[in-house]
């Protein structure tokens, strides 16, 4: 077996892919309702928001950073969407755009705190996690906004060619993200920054600008996810997206992105997402309760990274 083949086989993504296939087979045997197009599409609908945010989070973690504030940004944008539309009387499409823009601004603020003041991303976004959620609560005054027009629900509840609309959006974003991270100059710069930010800067890459862009994108995507979320659940509440960041980070890390930066792929993140959602859904269908599922996901997270570490140790020597 050639070294290249061996390398490919021992990649985290390959291990994860095999694990995912095994999981799918086992779960399919556990419940005959699991492996149906209907169920799988529906699971896609449910994971679209986490998935979208995970795409941007992959970039963030590849640079060696982290963004804990995404769940709060989602809540803030959801609230503002409702407020812009209902209280300020803006047309709904404009309110949607504005909401997403606010998400981008929130991400930009994260980026500015991190690049301009040199605050470690974990701390910076820990602070904005509280701040953005607080703004959402303060602005909403705990009121929810309801009664959106029917066309708006197309985004979160509708279908296009038999596939949930948000799955199309997610798929499109995933392809774009995969191309950018894997093939583009910007992706290259992202990896270089995550592996060695100083060397990247000394090579004439604009490190700060790249980081700003990535954190802004993370906010924008969280904003987009918020709009889809509101459309899916037909209402706006300030506690939306609570704890989202942990799900997202779990998926990304499960997907083989190194928390220290420099390593990770969109394919890996997609596999990680798939495995997580398959476990949640499949175990529920197989009769395991929600709390048991949480335990399994935690164990799978540790186990996968452990296996991957052991293989990598062998490969590196």
CA 284 – CA 277 distance, rounded (Å): 11
Shortest distance (Å) from residue 1 CB to another protein = 16
185 interacts with another protein by CB under 8 A: yes
**Residue from 61, 119, 7, 14 nearest 262 by CA:** 61
- Nearest distance from residue 129's CB to another protein, in Å? 7
- Which are the contacts of 160, defined by CB distance < 8 A and separation ≥ 6? 168
Pair of tokens at residue 45: 């609908």
Contacting another protein (CB under 8 A), which of 229, 256, 264, 273?
Answer: 229
The binder of another protein chosen from 105, 163, 168, 311 (CB under 8 A): 105
Question: Which member of 73, 253, 267, 270 binds another protein (CB under 8 A)?
Answer: 253
**Per the structure block, which two tokens stand in for 167?**
């799955």
Please state the closest distance from residue 265 (CB atom) to another protein, in A. Answer: 14
Query: Does 91 help bind another protein (rule: CB under 8 A)?
Result: no
178 contributes a contact to another protein by CB under 8 A: no
Task: Decide if residue 267 touches another protein (CB under 8 A).
Answer: no
* The residue to which tokens 């679209």 are assigned: 48
Q: Which of 17, 134, 168, 171 binds another protein (CB under 8 A)?
A: 134
- Applying CB under 8 A, which part among 18-26, 52-60, 167-175, 240-248 lies near another protein? 240-248
| Candidates 14-22, 161-169, 266-274, 303-311; binding stretch for another protein (CB under 8 A) | 303-311
What is the full DSSP assignment across 207-240? HHHHHHHHHHHHHHHHHHHHHHHHHHHS-B-TTT
Residue 164 sits at φ, ψ, to 5 deg, of: -50, 140
Total chain residues near another protein (CB under 8 A): 113
240 phi and psi angles, rounded to 5 deg: -65, 140
């Amino acid at each position: 077996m050639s070294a290249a083949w061996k390398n490919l086989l021992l990649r985290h993504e390959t291990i994860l892919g095999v694990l995912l296939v095994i999981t799918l087979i086992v779960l399919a045997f556990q419940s005959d309702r699991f492996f149906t197009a209907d169920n799988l599409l529906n699971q896609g609908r449910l994971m679209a928001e986490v998935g979208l945010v995970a795409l941007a989070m992959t970039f963030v973690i590849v640079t060696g950073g982290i963004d804990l504030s995404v769940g709060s940004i989602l809540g803030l944008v959801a609230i503002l969407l409702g407020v812009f539309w209902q209280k300020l009387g803006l047309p709904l499409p404009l309110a949607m755009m504005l909401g997403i823009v606010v998400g981008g601004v929130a991400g930009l603020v994260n980026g500015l705190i991190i690049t301009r003041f040199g605050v470690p991303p974990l701390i910076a976004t820990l602070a904005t996690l509280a701040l953005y959620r607080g703004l959402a609560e303060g602005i909403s005054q705990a009121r929810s906004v309801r009664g959106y027009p029917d066309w708006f629900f197309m985004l979160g509840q509708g279908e296009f060619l038999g596939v949930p609309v948000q799955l199309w959006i997610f798929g499109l974003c995933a392809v774009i993200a995969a191309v950018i991270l894997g093939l583009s100059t910007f992706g290259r710069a992202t990896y270089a920054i995550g592996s060695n930010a100083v060397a990247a800067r000394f090579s004439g890459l604009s490190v700060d600008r790249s980081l700003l862009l990535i954190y802004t994108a993370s906010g924008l995507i969280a904003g987009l996810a918020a709009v889809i979320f509101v459309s899916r659940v037909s209402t706006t509440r300030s506690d939306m997206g609570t704890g989202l960041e942990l799900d997202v980070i779990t998926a990304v890390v499960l997907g083989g992105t190194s928390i220290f930066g420099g390593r990770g792929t969109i394919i890996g993140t997609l596999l990680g997402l798939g495995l997580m959602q398959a476990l949640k859904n499949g175990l529920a269908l197989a009769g395991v309760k929600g709390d048991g599922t949480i335990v399994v996901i935690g164990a799978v997270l540790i186990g996968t990274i452990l296996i991957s570490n052991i293989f990598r140790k062998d490969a590196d020597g």
